[in-house]
């Protein structure tokens, strides 16, 4: 009895196909392909050795799981023919068509058959049509990729969230999967991370605190609590600890202030899965698209703090209280820590870095005792607060706080008037169009146009008045108001903390005699 020709069936459903059934099941298209190819094999008396099925895979890439398994079996000599619905189901990449259909498979003695389009590598006269089909398939993918990219960009500009997975602290809105809603438990953890950082804890230290408290890392929380099939390439099944990078990402993600920032990366091409980072001016940022977890002031404060180089906070807090903001008044280099030469080598204070590394010929020591420095800065802040917050300033502060509601109301009115002006101008344009199309008479057009002009003039006058009023109210929250508000809470402070230092002070310079110059983050209105 003559041995039958050994054949395998290759089935593929692309990501773009729409006739999917349940997630994880073979689609109707896959089932139809299976029936078609099985019938073809039986009609030609081929022995079906195996069926390879790639569901939800693009034909542009050869990294499809079942495709790769089929090629491994081909090299092992397990079959003689590959049968697919068409050449495009095998590959839509011209480079792969040439490599596999016209080189690798023929060298292995394996024939390829496309049932619907008539592709057959045993027919040498068929090669040109296969190559033309390969080009057409690749052009199709290029056009499809550009169309999808354009559609995605349009959605991004509308602020629709397109990420496959939600940022930690949010879930997808069940009514709109392109909108984020707050996940209360994870949001509380995010707030805790921001609070700890502003208290002076480093990112690694924050991670250690969360790990010790048994708080699940984001990947495990999504899988074990939310039931999301989520994997992070940087973490394994055994990862339990919060990493520096995870904390860093949370502290720098604008999503927590209600913004959606997308288009930060792009593929090298439609045929290459590798991502490259886009310049920031290419990012698509839409503000106020969902409920914020962190207020904008806190977020900006965290961004500012990260510019200060600082070491992890110590238990006693002493060694890191002035890290990143203490400098020599002469050479402008950072001050470094000094320790007792004998005994327990206890931390005592600071001296100039240049002096310590290059000697007294380069700069003087500018030595300052830590306890004295801390006491001096504390008294300076207390004194500044008492000097600034006079009874008149307290009254002023109270006044500007009462303007907040008025400012919001003014902003709402301005938006409403702008919308009304735009609406009236649209009506005026339509009136002219109706006149040109002889829908209305010239007299009617002149009458309507005059009425719209009067309405628009009145609205513009109201708009100008409200804008002046808004500017006046905003002036009350000027540098002076900011200075007063910042120092209000520090009149009676008895202990200096890292949080207070970073809140108020830009830098401290130490003079050669040990005295200091304090540069605050806000201009002192009484200094002029």
CATH assignment of the domain containing 85: 3.40.50.1390
Query: Are residue 133 and residue 213 in the same domain, yes or no?
Result: no
pLDDT of residue 170: 92
* Confidence (pLDDT) at 96: 82
275 in Cβ contact with 265 (< 8 Å): yes
Residue 311, domain member (yes or no): no
Smallest CA-to-CA distance from 177 within 228, 126, 136, 135 is with 228
- Domain containing 17 equals 6-154
Domain contains 332: yes
pLDDT digits (tens, 9 = 90+) for 61-111: 888 899 999 999 999 999 999 999 888 888 888 788 888 888 899 899 999
Please tell me whether residues 355 and 438 are part of one structural domain: no
Span 364-388, pLDDT tens digits = 999 999 999 999 998 888 887 776 6
> Based on the domain organization, do 34 and 79 belong to the same domain?
yes
**pTM of this structure:** 0.51
> Is position 436 within any domain?
yes
Provide the number of structural domains found in the chain: 4
Dist CA 50 CA 81 (whole Å) = 11
Residue 398: what pLDDT?
53
Cβ atoms 509, 329 nearer than 8 A: yes
Give the pLDDT confidence score for residue 314 in this predicted structure: 47
Strands 6-13 and 81-84: parallel
pLDDT in tens, the chain (528 residues): 567 899 999 998 875 554 444 444 444 578 888 888 998 999 899 999 999 998 878 777 888 899 999 999 999 999 999 999 888 888 888 788 888 888 899 899 999 998 888 888 888 777 777 777 766 666 665 665 566 666 777 788 888 888 878 899 999 888 888 889 999 999 999 999 999 998 878 888 899 999 999 999 998 888 888 887 766 655 655 678 898 889 999 999 999 999 888 887 776 554 555 667 778 888 888 888 889 999 988 898 898 888 775 554 444 445 578 888 899 999 999 999 998 887 777 888 999 999 999 998 999 999 999 999 999 998 888 887 776 655 445 555 455 555 556 666 777 788 888 888 888 888 888 888 777 777 788 888 888 888 888 888 888 888 888 888 777 666 655 545 565 666 666 666 778 888 788 888 889 999 999 899 999 887 655 554
103-142 CB burial, b ≥16 within 10 A, e <16: eebeeeebbbbbbebebbbeeeeeeeebbebbeebbeebe
**CB-based burial label for 242 (10 Å; 0-12, 13-18, 19+):** buried
10 lies in the same domain as 92:
yes
Asked whether residue 336 is assigned to any structural domain, the reply reads yes
Q: What does the pLDDT read at residue 278?
A: 79
Q: Which of 119, 154, 189 is the last residue of a domain?
A: 154
Domain-located, residue 483:
no
Based on the fold, state whether residues 37 and 65 are members of the same structural domain.
yes
Q: Are residues 43 and 136 in the same domain?
A: yes
CA atoms of 335 and 349, how far apart (whole Å): 9
Determine what percent of the chain is predicted with pLDDT higher than 70: 78
220, 227, 215, 247: which is closest to 172 by C-alpha?
Answer: 227
159 part of a folded domain? no
Do the domain assignments include residue 1? no
Same domain for 147 and 26, yes or no, is yes
Are residues 30 and 131 located together in one domain of the fold?
Answer: yes
Q: What single DSSP character describes residue 48?
A: E
In a domain, 484, yes or no: no
Residue 503: per-residue pLDDT: 80
Distances in whole angstroms, Cα of residue 163 to Cα of each of 17, 394, 442 = 20, 47, 55
Residues 137 and 191 reside in one and the same domain: no
Residues 20 and 87 in one domain: yes
Residues 200 and 147 occupy one common structural domain: no
* Same domain flag for 298 and 412: no
Domain boundary among 154, 180, 199: 154
């Amino acid at each position: 009895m003559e041995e039958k020709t050994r054949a395998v069936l290759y089935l593929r459903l692309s990501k773009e196909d729409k006739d999917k059934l349940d997630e994880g099941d073979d689609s109707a298209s896959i089932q139809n392909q299976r029936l078609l190819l099985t019938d073809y094999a039986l009609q030609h008396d081929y022995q079906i050795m195996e069926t390879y099925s790639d569901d939800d895979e693009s034909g542009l890439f050869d990294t499809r799981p079942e495709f790769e398994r089929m090629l491994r079996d081909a090299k092992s000599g397990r079959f003689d023919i590959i049968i697919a619905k068409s050449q495009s189901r095998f590959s839509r990449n011209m480079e792969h068509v040439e490599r596999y259909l016209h080189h690798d498979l023929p060298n292995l003695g394996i024939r390829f058959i496309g049932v619907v389009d008539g592709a057959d590598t045993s027919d040498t006269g068929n090669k040109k049509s296969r190559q033309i089909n390969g080009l057409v398939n690749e052009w199709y993918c290029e056009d499809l990729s550009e169309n999808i990219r354009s559609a995605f960009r349009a959605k991004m500009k509308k602020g629709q969230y397109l990420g496959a997975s939600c940022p930690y602290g949010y879930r997808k809105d069940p009514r709109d999967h392109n909108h984020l809603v707050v996940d209360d438990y994870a949001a509380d953890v995010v707030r805790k991370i921001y609070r700890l950082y502003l208290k002076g804890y480093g990112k690694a230290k924050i991670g250690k605190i969360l790990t010790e408290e048994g708080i699940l890392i984001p990947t495990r929380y999504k899988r074990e609590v939310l039931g999301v099939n989520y994997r992070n390439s940087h973490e394994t099944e055994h990862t339990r600890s919060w990493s520096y990078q995870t904390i860093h990402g949370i502290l720098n993600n604008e999503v927590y202030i209600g913004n959606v920032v997308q288009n930060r990366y792009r593929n090298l091409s439609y045929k290459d899965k590798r991502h490259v980072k886009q310049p920031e001016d290419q990012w698509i940022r839409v503000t106020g698209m969902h409920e914020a977890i962190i207020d904008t002031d806190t977020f900006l404060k965290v961004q500012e703090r990260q510019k200060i180089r600082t070491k992890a906070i110590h238990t006693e807090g002493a060694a890191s209280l002035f890290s990143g903001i203490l400098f020599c008044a002469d050479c402008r280099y950072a001050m470094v820590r000094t320790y007792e030469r004998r005994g327990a080598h206890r931390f005592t204070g600071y001296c100039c870095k240049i002096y310590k590394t290059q000697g007294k010929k380069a700069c003087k020591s500018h030595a300052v005792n830590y306890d004295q420095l801390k006491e001096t800065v504390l008294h300076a802040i207390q004194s500044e607060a008492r000097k600034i917050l006079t009874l008149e300033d307290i009254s002023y502060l109270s006044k500007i706080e009462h303007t907040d509601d008025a400012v919001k109301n003014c902003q709402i009115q301005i938006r409403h008037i702008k919308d009304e002006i735009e609406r009236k101008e649209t009506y005026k344009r339509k009136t002219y169009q109706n006149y040109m199309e002889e829908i209305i008479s010239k007299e009617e057009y002149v009458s309507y146009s005059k009425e719209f002009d009067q309405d628009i003039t009145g609205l513009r006058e109201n708009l100008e008045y409200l804008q002046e009023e808004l500017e006046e109210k905003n002036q009350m929250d000027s540098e002076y108001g900011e200075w007063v508000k910042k120092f209000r809470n520090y009149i009676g402070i008895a202990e200096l903390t890292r949080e207070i230092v970073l809140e108020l002070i830009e830098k401290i310079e130490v003079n050669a005699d040990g005295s200091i110059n304090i540069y605050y983050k806000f201009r002192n209105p009484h200094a002029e």
